[in-house]
Structure 1
Amino acid sequence: MKTPTCADFKSFYSSLSASDKAKFAECAGTTKGYISVHLVYARRMPRKDKMEQLFTACQKFGAKFDKSALIAFFYEEQHA
């Protein structure tokens, strides 16, 4: 697994290999399809428990942003 150095969720997730995307989705408690359609483009705001799982998966896969940056990604995209 390569460690991405991306600053936001979209670029981070996009930098993962296809097999790492599948592992990431499993770790986050969702599917690659849901992430690709709804989360990468911030069309959906994850519930608190899902946001926790998503952040845990981000940390496990080497994301270089903190939880507040992950939350801001969804909040700012939805209110832009």
Structure 2
Amino acid sequence: MEKRPLDSFEFNCSISGTLLCEIGSTMAYVKDNDFLFVNPNVIHKSLENPASFLGFAVLVPVAILQLFLTRMIKTPLL
């Protein structure tokens, strides 16, 4: 399978509850107020989706992340 160029990341956020995710060969729990950035070219899935889980996922273009990080590096922290 041909690898696509990376043009976005998937941002997953848990508002409340716990979600079990498999990312490649790694298992991860996403709990209250946790978030994950996932390369969409890596096979990933949610293994549990309890009724009590509330969260969302969005695709964030790499260009937006680069813009944010460039500004963050140029801005002094103090």
TM-score, normalised relative to structure 1: 0.28
TM-score (norm 2): 0.28
Structure with greater proportional helix content: 1
Structure number with higher strand proportion:
2
